[in-house]
A and B are shown apart, each in its own frame.
Chain A
Amino acid sequence: MSKIARANVFERKGHYLGPDTAVLRYYARGMNVCRAIYKYAVATRVSHWLWVLAFGALVSSGLQIFNAAPFLDAFDRRDQSHRVLSIDSPQDGVGTTTLFGHVFTTTTWLGWTPNGMGGYASRAFPSWITIPSFQDLADGRRWHFFFAWTALVAWLTWLISSAVKGNLRHILLAPSDIPKLWPMQAYYLHLRKAPPPYGLYNPLQKASYTAVLFGLAPLVVLTGLSLSPGIDTIAHPLTWILGGRQFARLWHFTGMILLVGFWLIHVFQVLTQGVINQLMSMITGWYRPEEYQTVPVEHR
């Protein structure tokens, strides 16, 4: 990175990344003195890796649960006119996916797929993506409920710890970030030479983390809860707002698809932006920004 990035880091007063407030560490690298920044608190790192574990288990066991009723309806009355998605096997050896009435042939991927026992079967999602691999709703439910609690406890731990330490402001999209969203995107698209000034996270990161942690995460939790007939007896309005139990199932599935989309982009970015540095920072907490690799003379 160039002068501008360095200016962003060192000349903005009162920002977290300013030398007056950032937790920095010096380390030697060859002939240079370098700095690392303490980017992730313990609670953030622990909950991040718990989410990695729980997210994988929740998606896989959730698809196992979906396989028991491989369709999504938009009405509790259960009539075919309200069917949004169904994954079927109209005959042995053929898998089809019907989305809003449009039929796609998806043999071996959806509908007619590996059964986890060496063969193929009429099965919506294939064995290589479900937990357990073979068809077992009871096991799928056990995994799902356990890791739902794991994810929720991790989320609460992160939320409370970040709020108490006053760190939430770094990740929450503020109104002042909104005008910076397009310049940041333009920078990524090589339409702009330099990013707009920002703190620990850039405006697009803030927007996506805010959407995931405070939008999609509560959405999948609430829609998941409203599938429970027991919860429905306590929290009528929740199921009602979502449009009923089957609609909640549809939202729950949609939330999962969006989270998987976020996950794909997230992993792509980690892989393309210094994967070792990124992974190590999420393990140790210490991140080595490019602009910190060589420390300017006046800051030594």
Chain B
Amino acid sequence: MKRRAFIARNPAFNRLLSSVELVNHALIGTRGLAQTYTMSEISPVFPIESLPTPADAKYRDLVASHFGNYRLIVDGAVEQPAALSLAQLHSMRQISEITRHDCVDGWSAIAKWSGVRLADVLALARPRRDARYVVFYCMDTDERGTPYYESLDCHQANHPQVLLALRMNGVPIPNDYGAPVRLRVPTQLGYKSAKWIERAEVVGSFAHLYGGDGGYWEDQGYQWYAGI
């Protein structure tokens, strides 16, 4: 067992194992639409397997204000940085979709998600030519204080089913499911659908951020391309 652990931790061997991620991304990618479901197929219980719901003073104040003080910051490599209130987000075109959430652990659950297309929000901010990724900064942190974050490339970010979700199953997203705004990426595994988003930064590269791999779980060895 020590021997297997040793092999599994060998950097060169790990690079070899990871080499197929590029192949998977190139071959599978994001080409079509995720399946949609009917109201009767919605899961009676939707599991929660994220980092804990934020409990710091900032989040408590947001909850106390019914998210009246909440602003979604959209900045970085954009012509027109924005700080959008919930009211502003609600005034934009609303999209509803009943899609499946596929956890990397293996389970699935179905819910109805409503909100604005990420593409519409990005269009407001007008990304510059050097924009390649959108990085999402979240309000939840792990027990060591490391914050959750995620990233999508421009192709994935402009997918018509990728939402900044404001409602879940017809009601405002409950706190434990990412209130007030969470990402929904039904074409990829659940860890891409970041909860409790407070900022979307458009960048040319995410290599300088945190662990450099483009996401909280990616920094711990999970694939950046989460379509498989």
A interface residues, Cβ below 8 angstroms from B: 65-66, 68-69, 71, 73, 76-79, 116, 127-128, 131-134, 136-139, 141-143, 145-146, 149, 227-234, 236, 239, 244-246, 249
Contact residue among B24, B34, B47, B110 (Cβ-Cβ distance under 8 Å from A232): B34
Q: Is the CB of B221 within 8 A of A139?
A: yes
Q: Is the CB of B228 within 8 A of A231?
A: yes
Contact residue among B14, B41, B186 (Cβ-Cβ distance under 8 Å from A229): B186
Query: Which of A131, A137, A143, A230 has the most chain B CB atoms inside 10 A of its CB?
Result: A230
Whether B28 is near chain A, meaning CB under 8 Å from some CB there, is yes
In the A-B complex, the 3 residue pairs with the smallest Cβ-Cβ separation, listed nearest first, are A230-B227, A138-B221, A69-B106
Q: List 13 A-B contacts (CB under 8 A).
A: A77-B110, A116-B5, A131-B8, A132-B8, A133-B4, A145-B228, A230-B24, A230-B188, A230-B225, A231-B228, A232-B34, A245-B102, A249-B106
Q: Which residues of B contact A68 (CB under 8 A)?
A: 104-106
Which residues of chain B in 31-87 are interfacial with respect to chain A, using CB atoms and an 8 Å cutoff?
Answer: 31-35, 37, 41-45, 47
B interface residues, Cβ below 8 angstroms from A: 1, 4-5, 8, 14, 16-21, 23-24, 28-35, 37, 41-45, 47, 100, 102-110, 186-189, 217, 220-223, 225-228
Tell me the minimal C-beta distance from A215 to chain B in angstroms.
24
Tell me the minimal C-beta distance from B166 to chain A in angstroms.
22
Q: Is the CB of A139 within 8 A of B32?
A: no
Question: How far is B103's CA from A69's CA once the two chains are assembled, in angstroms?
Answer: 9
Given the interface contacts A137-B104, A142-B17, A230-B30, does A236 sit within 8 Å of B221 by beta carbon?
no
Q: Which residues of B contact A232 (CB under 8 A)?
A: 34-35
Q: Is the CB of A233 within 8 A of B5?
A: no
Known: A116-B5, A141-B223, A236-B32. 11 other contacts (CB 8 A): A76-B41, A76-B100, A76-B110, A77-B109, A128-B1, A132-B8, A133-B1, A137-B105, A138-B217, A138-B222, A228-B28
Question: How far is B34's CA from A244's CA once the two chains are assembled, in angstroms?
Answer: 12
Tell me the minimal C-beta distance from B14 to chain A in angstroms.
7
Question: How far is B102's CA from A231's CA once the two chains are assembled, in angstroms?
Answer: 12
Q: Is the CB of A149 within 8 A of B31?
A: no
Given the interface contacts A77-B41, A139-B8, A142-B221, does A233 sit within 8 Å of B34 by beta carbon?
yes
Contact residue among B33, B221, B225 (Cβ-Cβ distance under 8 Å from A233): B33
Q: Is the CB of A149 within 8 A of B20?
A: yes
Q: Which residues of A contact B32 (CB under 8 A)?
A: 233-234, 236
Tell me the minimal C-beta distance from A150 to chain B in angstroms.
9
Residue of A nearest to B33 (CB): A233
Number of A-B contacts (CB under 8 A): 129
Q: Is the CB of B28 within 8 A of A234?
A: yes
Residue of B nearest to A140 (CB): B8
Q: Is the CB of B106 within 8 A of A229?
A: no
Question: How far is B20's CA from A228's CA once the two chains are assembled, in angstroms?
Answer: 15
Q: Which residues of A contact B5 (CB under 8 A)?
A: 116, 132-134
Contact residue among A66, A146, A230, A245 (Cβ-Cβ distance under 8 Å from B16): A146
Tell me the minimal C-beta distance from B79 to chain A in angstroms.
31
Residue of A nearest to B1 (CB): A133
Contact residue among B17, B35, B220 (Cβ-Cβ distance under 8 Å from A146): B17
Q: Which residues of A contact B102 (CB under 8 A)?
A: 227, 229, 245
Q: Is the CB of B107 within 8 A of A69?
A: yes
Q: Is the CB of B44 within 8 A of A77?
A: yes
Q: Which residues of A contact B223 (CB under 8 A)?
A: 141-142
Tell me the minimal C-beta distance from A242 to chain B in angstroms.
12
Given the interface contacts A69-B105, A116-B1, does A233 sit within 8 Å of B30 by beta carbon?
yes
Contact residue among A127, A142, A228, A229 (Cβ-Cβ distance under 8 Å from B18): A142
Question: How far is B24's CA from A149's CA once the two chains are assembled, in angstroms?
Answer: 10
Q: Which residues of B contact A234 (CB under 8 A)?
A: 28, 31-32
Given the interface contacts A76-B108, A142-B14, does A230 sit within 8 Å of B221 by beta carbon?
no
Q: Which residues of A contact B16 (CB under 8 A)?
A: 146
Query: Which of B18, B35, B42 has the most chain A CB atoms inside 10 A of its CB?
Result: B35
Q: Which residues of B contact A133 (CB under 8 A)?
A: 1, 4-5
Question: How far is B9's CA from A139's CA once the two chains are assembled, in angstroms?
Answer: 9
Given the interface contacts A145-B21, A230-B227, does A245 sit within 8 Å of B100 by beta carbon?
yes
Q: Which residues of B contact A73 (CB under 8 A)?
A: 107
Q: Which residues of B contact A231 (CB under 8 A)?
A: 28, 227-228
Tell me the minimal C-beta distance from B187 to chain A in angstroms.
5
Q: Is the CB of A146 within 8 A of B20?
A: yes
Q: Is the CB of B35 within 8 A of A228?
A: no
Q: Which residues of B contact A249 (CB under 8 A)?
A: 106
Question: How far is B186's CA from A232's CA once the two chains are assembled, in angstroms?
Answer: 10
Residue of B nearest to A79 (CB): B44
Question: How far is B4's CA from A227's CA once the two chains are assembled, in angstroms?
Answer: 27
